[in-house]
Structure 1
Amino acid sequence: MTLNPVDVTVPLAPGGPAAPHSASGEMVALHDLDGVAPPAQAARRWIPKRVVATPAAYDHAHGQRIMALLAARGIEVERLRGNRLTGLRGESDRATYARAKSTMAIVVSPPSRRKLQPIAPSADWRFDLAEGCPAHCQYCYLAGSLSGPPVTRVYADLDDILAGLGDYVGRGTITSRREHRRDEGTTFEASCYTDPLALDHLTGSWRRAVEHFGAWDAPVQLRWTTKFDDVGPFVGLAHHGRTRVRLSVNCRPVTTRVEGGTSRLEDRLAALRRLALDGYPVGLTIAPIIAVPDWRAHYGELLDDVAGVLRGVPDIDLTAELITHRFTPGSKEVLLGWYPRTKLEMDEESRSRKHGKFGAVKYVYPPETMAGLRTWFHEQIAARLPACRILYWT
């Protein structure tokens, strides 16, 4: 079933004032989220309305595998005349968004993607098997990061991509050389620009990557994170502990209101348990952490739910990555074009202005809010999930 992006914000009332502050001075990050949340809908496997393939994609074995998977599902593939994607823009930003979000393109990765880049603080290196995501998260990290309409591109040259990873072993600076994470080996992040479980039923790319790392007799680790629960095809793979799967989770006021088209929190946590029981190293990506009203109670409930679902899992290897909500002027503009009725707080006046290493501006929570969040999460994870190791806070 193809998700209709126009319907994503239906539960949210239009308009609304800028983000208020509570009596204690804490920022209220989402409007009207302290009431009863609407029931979440279980995510279904995404089926694009349109699938296209560039001529170059037909020259790669994995491109042919993807087309075979699609044919088995009765999905037709349109062969393009050239290697550029065209015909994605509509009469408005919303029309372009809807058209692109319902399209999948089978392409060959650009040469720039074959030269791996560090991905601090997550992993030593980032490599990509796809770009774009069919979900409808109103804080989408891809907004402002990727150019053009948000079409989902999947890479046909998977075999070449995996073959090139060996050149980077031992050369990273995040886990390869840092004492507190050296046990992870050289780490390769494979979900920066997409969600693997949103696409793997159509491509098989991440299953092949898990098997590749499982057969790789070296101190390496594949890493990816997801908001979906379709982990069945990964249970029983010969991963040999060299793939860490993290479930991207959040408190219910966030998951039920601004993460459209994703799996329910309960289903994500059940998937986390399935993977842990199958011997995978697992993790929590708690992101974006948002100071919703009564955030301590809501995030405390989340941590208790995680503790409950993982109870009894033997020898669990559990990590947490804690990422607070932030935005840039460019991402805000894109997101408001995609989700004009969003209630997500993006008020520059209530944020601190921060500059990245290349001078880019981003807006983060003010220091007092950030300190309160960080102290609470570190204390409560230690108390409620004592087996969990926090990898970083940002």
Structure 2
Amino acid sequence: MNGPPPTLLDIARIYLEPAVEGYARGREVLARFPRAERIEVASHWRIPELREGDPGDYLRAKRGSLVLGVKKSLAFRPNGRSADFIAPSSSNGCAMACAYCYVARRKGHSNPISVFVNIEEITAAIARHAARQGPKAEPNQVDPRDWVYDLGENGDLSVDAAISDNVRDLVAAFRDLPNAKGSFATKWVNRDLLDYDPRGRTRIRMSLMPAGMAKLLDVRTSPVAERIAAIPELHRAGYEMHLNFSPVVLREGWEAEWGELFAELDDVLPDQVKEGLAAEIIMLTHNQGLHEINLAWHPRAEELLWRPDIQEEKVSEGGGVNLRYRTGWKGRWLARFKELLAARMPYCRVRYAF
């Protein structure tokens, strides 16, 4: 396992629950960072200096802090969008700092990576749940044959794989499940994943947006060109590769920007990838709380994200008040996005759009 670049992660302190050292994965991760200060905490959720930090110093905790805990709840949630089910997560939080991140939106601050060390319990729970489902009776927009489990709802597993072998263990677990696939979205290129031997049982959704926009909004992620170049490599290594156009951020000239991205993909992707290619399209959602945090550390991002002239408030499923593009206009812009995609990449099926 190659370590993460120090520009992304330079772990100076590890917050850990008391039970962590009783797990082999916990001991492995601690051994990888022998110089890090260890701070025992009662719960990985309740660390005030991480959850209530200075908004102007947003990146410090992401780069220098790691949390180790035990995943208590092994519940599964139905999804029906990116996956059939949301699996119990092997991690939470992220070293990257995308300005629109919904995890930061929910938690209120930078939310560095938390790794859950009871990975054997997590993979065993997935196997039991998949066995209870039995064969998938009929195709749906998620997958025609398999039950699909989202493994990385609250983080980026490509970065997690540079910290522990949790992701390797998850990929290995799905190799042996005849009716299920794992799935996660990523904005980070980690070539360690090429050696995991997924045998088509793990789907990676490579998240993309126009390169100029990504330089402003996708903070601390791999460059878009590098992500695109990695797609054929990951496909050859045995992953099912899909695309995640997310979020679609509207600004003057957005059609030309996205058209250039589609042209680059069409030029780079080999026929073997194009044959099974599918995509998600997710329009931007923003909110007041994240807007205020961003104003403290990255105000330029808000010039794109905070557009009350074309946005409206909408209550989310969880009861939060978010900003989304205005009803009626959003539908027209989404339809236009699909037209642009179909014109340049007609082989790319739109699996989900919102």
Q: Shorter chain as normaliser: what TM range?
A: 0.7 to 0.9
Whichever structure has more helix as a proportion of its residues is 2
1:105-140 Cα shifts (integer Å, max 9, x gaps): 1111233xx112223411122131111111121112
Task: Give the match's secondary structure for 1:94.
Answer: helix
Alignment partner, residue 260 of structure 2 = 301
CA apart distance, 1:346? 1.3
Where does the alignment leave 5 or more consecutive residues of structure 2 unmatched? none
User: Residues 312-348 of structure 1, C-alpha deviation per residue, up to 9 Å, x if partnerless?
Assistant: 4367422101001111333333433443453333133
> CA–CA distance in 2 between the matches of 1:386 and 1:349?
33
**Structure 2 SS opposite 1:323:** strand
Residue 57 of structure 1 aligns to which amino acid in structure 2?
A: V
Written as runs of structure 1 = structure 2, the 5 A alignment for 1:139-178 is 139-146=100-107, 150-169=111-130
* Equivalent residue number for residue 76 of structure 2: 116
1:130 corresponds in structure 2 to 91
Q: Which residue of 2 aligns with 1:389?
A: 349
Q: Secondary structure at 1:144's aligned position in 2?
A: helix
- Whether 1:262 aligns to 2:221 is yes
Which residue identity is paired with 1:139? Answer: Y
Cα distance change on mapping 1:188 and 1:281 into 2, 3 Å: same
Say which structure, 1 or 2, has more relative contact order (CA 8 Å, 6+ apart).
1
RMSD of Structure 2 on Structure 1 (CA) = 2.9
CA contact (8 A) 1:102 1:134 kept: no
Q: Does 1:353 align with 2:313?
A: yes
- Aligned equivalents of 1:204, 1:75: Cα separation in 2: 20
CA–CA distance in 1 between the matches of 2:277 and 2:265? Answer: 11
Instruction: Name the TM-score, length of structure 1 as normaliser.
Output: 0.78
Q: Secondary structure at the match of 2:152?
A: coil
Structure 1 residues 345 and 76 mapped into 2: Cα distance closer, same or farther (>3 Å)?
A: closer
Equivalent position to 1:229, from 186, 189, 195:
189
- Distance in 1 (CA, whole Å) between partners of 2:263 and 2:222 is 19
Matching residue's letter, 1:286: F
Cα distance in 2 for partners of 1:103, 1:176 equals 45
Shift of 1:349: 4.6
Name the counterpart of 1:366: 326
CA contact (8 A) 1:210 1:243 kept: yes
Call closer, same or farther: CA 1:258–1:61 in 2, change over 3 Å. same
Equivalent residue letter for 1:272: I
Q: Aligned pair in 2 of structure 1 residues 290, 43: CA closer, same or farther (>3 Å)?
A: farther
TM-score, with structure 2 as normaliser: 0.86
Deviation (angstroms), 1:277: 2.1
1:245 shift after superposition? 0.5
Q: Secondary structure at the match of 2:340?
A: helix
| Mapped partners of 1:182, 1:252: distance in 2 | 29
Q: Number of residues paired by the alignment?
A: 346
Query: In the alignment, is the contact (CA less than 8 A) between 1:130 and 1:193 conserved in 2?
Result: yes
Equivalent residues in 2 for 1:151-300 (5 A)?
Answer: 151-169=112-130, 179-216=140-177, 218-230=178-190, 232-300=191-259
Distance of 2:249 and 2:326 partners within structure 1: 12
Q: Give CA deviations for 1:227-285 in whole Å, capped at 9, x if unaligned.
A: 1111x222243312110011111012211112111111111011111112223210111
